[in-house]
Amino acid sequence: MTAPPPRPGLPLGSDGYPAAGGVARRAAGTEESARANRRWWDAAAPAYLAEHGTDLGDVDFLWCPEGLREADAHLLGEVAGRRVLEIGCGSAPCARWLRAAEADVVALDLSGGMLARAAELNRTTGIAVPLLQADAGALPLADAGLDAVCSAFGGLPFVADVGAALREVARVLRPGGRFVASVNHPMRWPFPDSPDPADLRITSSYFDRTPYVETDDAGRAVYVEHHRTVGDWVRAVVGAGLVLEDLVEPEWTPGRTENWGQWSPERGALVPGTLILVATRP
């Protein structure tokens, strides 16, 4: 499947990422969140992949900045011959890794910019996975048709109604199907966005769910990120009709030196940065 071309981009800063006119903590609903994040990731895709593409790889499955890989963790179990959906695939290295492991995989993302790069890498790697542009809250897939759904920092932190998104996951999974997703650890929310352990000071409330919103000069949202507590994530998974089997908080991989925003070896030695939800459909 060919990804549609991205829509006109946002103005970029000197770092290549969309330049925000302002930052706010305010409500942001489903449509506003999806519209803003689609445009942001379309515009940010080149800079993001230039910064992190080497670490992500072209055919690899990295669950999180801490360096946990599916090849070592086996959180999805046996994938050969299984039908798998990846939500928030970005340039789709995880999906290509799954395809190389003989899974029947579809890679989904909201961003046409990310999917355009995924299509390029399909060609250059010779490992072609079907690409689908869609919102995680409205999966254009049949009921009970998948053996597994996965998401490696893809989509869920940016969805306003995560309960609806997880109900969609439960709908498309067959009975006994597996769901695994890595998200920002809720413990990141109260601290400054810095990799320096000296900045581990609480500057906002862990319990404040008000979204983080970047705006343009007219005050329109251009980026939205939603916060949930650990309890919120557990209730959302259970409320979707899934059975939560594990919560994984990966420790920093020894010898790994890569920094991702506030994720760093120094900070990773002190506090968790990623939460991985492991669940099944009964």
pLDDT tens-digit map of 156-174: 999 999 999 999 999 999 9
Q: If you ran DSSP here, which 8-state letter would residue 156 be given?
A: G
pLDDT of residue 9: 62
Residues above pLDDT 90, as percent of the chain: 94
Distance CA 2, CA 174 (A): 27
Element (H, E) at 33: helix 30-56
Element (H, E) at 149: strand 146-152
What's the count of helices (H) and strands (E) in the chain, helices before strands? 7, 10
For residue 102, is it left (φ>0), alpha (ψ between -120 and 50) or beta?
Answer: left
Partners of 246 in beta bridges: 278
Which CATH number characterizes residue 173's domain? 3.40.50.150
Domain-embedded: residue 14: no
Domain-embedded: residue 128: yes
Q: What is the pLDDT of residues 22-76, one digit of tens each?
A: 999 999 999 999 999 999 999 999 999 999 999 999 999 999 999 999 999 999 9
Determine the distance from the C-alpha atom of residue 217 to the mean position of all C-alpha atoms in its chain, rounded to a whole number: 27
Domain count of the fold of the chain: 1
Instruction: Tell me which residue range forms the domain holding 128.
Output: 22-280
**Token duo for residue 40:** 């942001």
Distance CA 249, CA 258 (A): 18
pLDDT of residue 2: 45
Q: What angle do CA 173, 89, 26 make, to 5 degrees?
A: 95
Q: Give the residue carrying structure tokens 């009970």.
A: 144
Domain-embedded: residue 15: no
6 has a pLDDT exceeding 50:
no
8 A C-beta contact, residue 36 and residue 224: yes
Domain-embedded: residue 204: yes
pLDDT band at 214 (very low <50, low <70, confident <90, very high): very high
Determine the distance from the C-alpha atom of residue 81 to the mean position of all C-alpha atoms in its chain, rounded to a whole number: 24
Average pLDDT score over residue span 136-148: 97
Domain-embedded: residue 260: yes
Mean confidence (pLDDT) of the chain:
95
Closest by alpha carbon to 224, among 235, 234, 215, 213?
A: 213
Domain-embedded: residue 117: yes
Distance CA 152, CA 84 (A): 13
Cβ neighbours for 47, distance < 8 A, ≥ 6 positions apart: 12, 15, 16, 17
**pTM summary value:** 0.94
Domain-embedded: residue 11: no
Taking the alpha carbons of 191, 73, 112, 160 in that order, is the dihedral positive or negative? negative
Domain-embedded: residue 47: yes
pLDDT band at 135 (very low <50, low <70, confident <90, very high): very high
